[in-house]
Structure 1
Amino acid sequence: MDLKTTYLGLELPHPFVVGASPIAARLDRVRLAEDAGAAAIVMNSLFEEQIIHHEEGLQKHVLSHEDSFAEATSYFPSADEFDLGPDEYLERIREIKQAVDIPVIASLNGTNLGTWTEYAKYMEEAGADALELNLYYQPRSAEESSEQVEGNFVEIVEKVRQSVKLPLAVKLSPFFSSLPNFIKRIEDKGANAAVIFNRFYQPDIDIENLEAVPSLKLSDSSELLLRLRWLAILSGRTQLDLAVTGGVHTAEDAIKAVMAGADCIQLVSTLLRHGLPQLTKLRNEMAQWMEEKEYDSLEQMKGSMSYQHAPNPEAIERANYLRILQSWDVEA
């Protein structure tokens, strides 16, 4: 079965990629990922807070529950391993490039424009095959308009594009007033791919101790639905490659994502739950299903259920909303 796909100009043997996660923090895990058949690996993001050594509580906020899931314990490195400084991060790119043959996609999350462009260059020089811009920012001031936020994002893409020749993926949240318009704007500024969607770690509230506490939960298949809708809408309407992240746990999930238009499938939570051999399992199960359904290639299946090709495109749009609500009734 021909599962080949192209993502960020990289010819991949299949769409399954290790998404940004602690897996990249250990070379032995990276090697195991390659042995399991990963088509590429995305490194965990380098945050500007790490670069400027600001707020040591960052690693506690993100990683304090790193061993909460027994099945994931062996895959989460310690905080010291994951919280790489900027020099260590760049060295890790070099080490991974020497250790494996699969493409390495670096990831960057900044706050100042200079940081984005400076470290994008450093990552290119370190040997990264591509760069994922992790646009993780949550405005909290009423004085900051949506136009300003999105304008800043577009400028980041533009300036990084001017700074490096690396293929650029932009990792997005679903919180845009007009996602298709924003996709067009970053495409015009030189982005090569969009990653649909980032998952935000939301704090919980401890009502006994009256404090906010970090809450780290792995995704499940229900989170794929939002991503399927937007993949289906965007597929065929943009020249950007489309990657899905969040909610792919089974071969059926992966097949749905490709049918909606995904060129690349980034796996994290399912690998943390089941281990890196899950990569092999999902790839084999997808190939078997496609053979049974008489598909010749992934390309033949890709986008077949997008808005442009779906036999019932109104199900993707608002027209289906009322119908779904009316289909439920309250038991007496």
Structure 2
Amino acid sequence: MKMDLSTQYLGLTLPSPVVASASPLTGDLANLRALEARGAGAVVLPSVFEEQVLRDQEILEALLDHGAESTGEALSFFPPQISESFDTARQLALVEEASEALDIPVIASLNGVTLSGWIDYAQEFEAAGAAAIELNIFLIPSDPTVSSAEIEARYTEIVRAVASAVSIPVAVKIGPYFSSPGAMAAQLVEAGAKGLVLFNRFYQPDIAPATLSIEASLKLSDPYEGRLPLLWTGVLAGRTQASLAATTGVETAEDVVKFLLAGADVVMTTSALLRHGVDHMGTLVEGLSAWLGARGVNSPDMIRGRLSHGQIDNPEAYERANYIRVLQGYRPG
């Protein structure tokens, strides 16, 4: 039986539904080639951060202003820290190189919370050959005076502005903490999002009692963390016009299968690749193919969404009734 893992995501045709999401690994062209060779359906490049964009703008202004009072012969004046600037230029070069070198879609990523610089860079990514753009809106509403409506309006404003500025599809990576994720999804789609990536893992600091300090650390995700995106993938599947990408907790081929059954169009992985290396992409894709083949299934389309909220006989499994049964049925020890 011939296996066809091809998948539609954001209107793009991918050779498989397993995607390497943004990480340090995807910032290297050799790694990108290796991921493609091992079956990745697409790659998301490391994010350009809003802070980098603002820093570039500050340095450019310093370049323009520096030495303005000097004579025309003073051509060797340069502002300090020039060697640390223009990270975004290197990112644009990576987009161009990867788009030329790979046959799979190359997705550029922008990470921030305001409109500053995003439209210009989105257009430059498109010009450099990106097949799509992923907006990673990393916003922690730490100001208690800012309402949920204001936060939601900022999300939709960003998506609308970027989506209207480019002709390539735009996906938005969001967190799970909206009061109504389904309604928020509808607003983002109305604003122009062609895809939703569920979910962003927000930075969560720790406290070190011994030093009385806040510690910044990154803990790679584990499969248990996949329960939350699995829930909302299953709830939203078939209820939104946007493509659905599931991410977080994707460690094994079985995790990929779970998300496809819930209704994901693609399944993204970061932590597993960082933990095991780029060869793990082959393990995931081959494992998915083996799982499908063992059941006489020759395409992910044949299982996609079979266990989503709208397709199962007991949709309460996604709802409060099941929550009550789980709690009441638990027995200590």
Compare 301-310 and 284-293 and name the one that shifted more: 284-293
Q: CA RMSD in A?
A: 1.5
Give the equivalent residue in structure 1 for 2:138: 136
Q: Which residue identity is paired with 1:108?
A: L
Share of identical aligned residues, percent? Answer: 44
1:35 counterpart (34, 37, 40)? 37
Q: Structure 2 CA distance, aligned partners of 1:258 and 1:86?
A: 34
2:223 counterpart (221, 224, 249)? 221
Cα offset for 1:234? 0.1
Q: Is the 8 A contact 2:50 2:116 kept in 1?
A: no
- SS of 1:138's partner is coil
Alignment of 1:167-186 (within 5 A): 167-186=169-188
2:308 counterpart (306, 309, 315)? 306
1:160 aligns with 2:142: no
1:89 counterpart (88, 91, 95)? 91
Q: Is the 8 A contact 2:247 2:269 kept in 1?
A: yes
Q: Which residue identity is paired with 1:9?
A: G
1:290 aligns with 2:292: yes
Query: Rg: which structure is higher?
Result: 2
**What is the aligned length?**
303
Q: Structure 1 CA distance, aligned partners of 2:253 and 2:288?
A: 5
Alpha-carbon deviations, 1:88-113, whole Å to 9, x = none? 11111112223322211000023332
- Gap regions ≥5 residues in structure 2: 57-84
Structure 1 residues 310 and 266, CA gap change in structure 2 (3 angstroms): same
- SS of 2:298's partner is coil
Alpha-carbon deviations, 1:271-320, whole Å to 9, x = none? 11111111111111111111222223211100000001123211111111
> How high is the TM-score relative to the length of structure 2?
0.88
- Gap regions ≥5 residues in structure 1: 55-82
- SS of 1:212's partner is strand
Alignment of 1:1-332 (within 5 A): 1-53=3-55, 85-330=87-332
Moved over 6 A (4+): none
Q: Which residue identity is paired with 2:211?
A: N
Q: Which residue identity is paired with 1:294?
A: G
Q: Structure 2 CA distance, aligned partners of 1:306 and 1:247?
A: 18
Cα offset for 1:163? 0.6
Q: Structure 2 CA distance, aligned partners of 1:110 and 1:204?
A: 22
Q: Is the 8 A contact 2:10 2:194 kept in 1?
A: yes
- SS of 2:117's partner is helix
- SS of 2:197's partner is strand
